[in-house]
Amino acid sequence: MKNWSYLVLVLSFLASTPLFAQQRVNTSTTQETKTIHYYSFEAKNTNQDVLNNLEETLGRFDFVTQAKVKYKPENGMGQIIVLVTQPIITSENQAEFQPTQLKKTLINFGFTPIQYSKEPYVVK
């Protein structure tokens, strides 16, 4: 009888092992979300070096894949375009892109932020 209970214990252990192995989540295929962020701004009397510096600064933000600055000197208006690629948010404490960084950066460069918008990035 003692051997029988030992055999049942071993068999139950072996039977439960594959169940735990199947519950493992494959973390190598992380899903991402891509968005494009736009911020129009006013900048009177600025030069190309300042605009290039702004573009480089935006490109160094976390999750920013690409940054571009468009500027029309004849009316003193411009727009920043930022492509953001980040993992899908799965927890409350997970780091994510903060659009407020864009406004703060424009202000730090002496520009006047006007309008912010964002949209999903769709590959055509």
For 59-104, the pLDDT digits (tens) are: 999 999 999 999 999 999 999 999 999 998 888 888 889 999 999 9
Q: Over 98-115, what HEC string results? A: CCHHHHHHHHHCCCEEEE
- Judged by phi (left if over 0) then psi (alpha if -120 to 50, else beta), residue 63 lies in left
Number of domains in the chain: 1
Percent of all residues in the chain with a pLDDT value above 90, rounded to a whole number: 60
Is 78 inside a domain boundary? yes
How high is the mean pLDDT of the chain?
83
Q: What is the pTM of this model?
A: 0.72
Confidence class for position 22, pLDDT limits 50, 70, 90: very low
Stretch 100-112: mean pLDDT: 96
pLDDT at 25 over 90: no
Domain of 50 in residue numbering reads as 32-120
Is residue 16 domain-resident?
no
Whether 58 maps to a domain, the answer reads yes
Q: Is residue 39 part of a domain?
A: yes
